[in-house]
Amino acid sequence: MSHKVFIESVASVSDGKITGRALIPGISRNGNQYTPDQMETARNLGVPLKLDWEHTDEVIGSVVFNYDSTLQEMHYSGIVTSPSRLLQIKNGSYQVSIEAAVDEVAQSCTPNRCYNMLIGLTMEGLGITANPCITATTLTVTESKQD
């Protein structure tokens, strides 16, 4: 007579390192214009990493922005400190979106389109999202540990 045996294992994922592109010059899908000068101000700036920042203030880690003047791109590297959120990120299709404050917004229009010129832009965070306004952003989990 044979018996069925169920073998289960329990694993946990600890801090994960992430990297990617946070911002490029241009006009976002929501009409905001970003310039290389604005990205330069965020060099070596540490900010909170949030999950889906459009809807929650849940902080799941931290990132540091770095500006690549040759490529004119703002990159980031950081740590996800929430094991459950790290698994969610690894198993999903996510990008990132900056969170920023501005002193003033001036609208500028061309014959084809209007856009927002952001005056006094201050980077305040980075959010993981499935729907970024800058579609050229990237998110890569570069390292994680499983115990």
pLDDT tens-digit profile of 111-120? 998 999 999 9
Q: What burial class does residue 78 get, using C-beta atoms within 10 Å of its C-beta: 0-12 exposed, 13-18 middle, 19+ buried?
A: buried
How far apart, in Å, are the Cα atoms of 130 and each of 7, 87, 92, 137?
Answer: 35, 15, 9, 11
Token pair in block for residue 89: 């990120």
User: Is pLDDT of 7 > 60?
Assistant: no
CA distance 101 to 122: 5
Share of the chain above pLDDT 70, in %: 85
Identify which of 18, 33, 116 has the alpha carbon closest to the alpha carbon of residue 75: 18
Query: How far does the chain reach from its first CA to its final CA, in angstroms?
Result: 36
Among residues 63, 68, 74, the alpha carbon closest in space to that of 26 is found at 74
- pLDDT of 11: 40
Of the pLDDT bands very low, low, confident and very high (cuts 50, 70, 90), residue 84 is confident
Using one digit for the tens of pLDDT, what is the confidence trace for 48-63?
999 875 667 789 999 9
Closest C-alpha among 53, 64, 36 to residue 129: 53
CA atoms within 13 A on the CB side of 9: 4
pLDDT tens-place string over residues 121-146: 999 999 999 889 999 999 999 876 55
CA nearest neighbour of 97 among 71, 79, 74, 120: 74
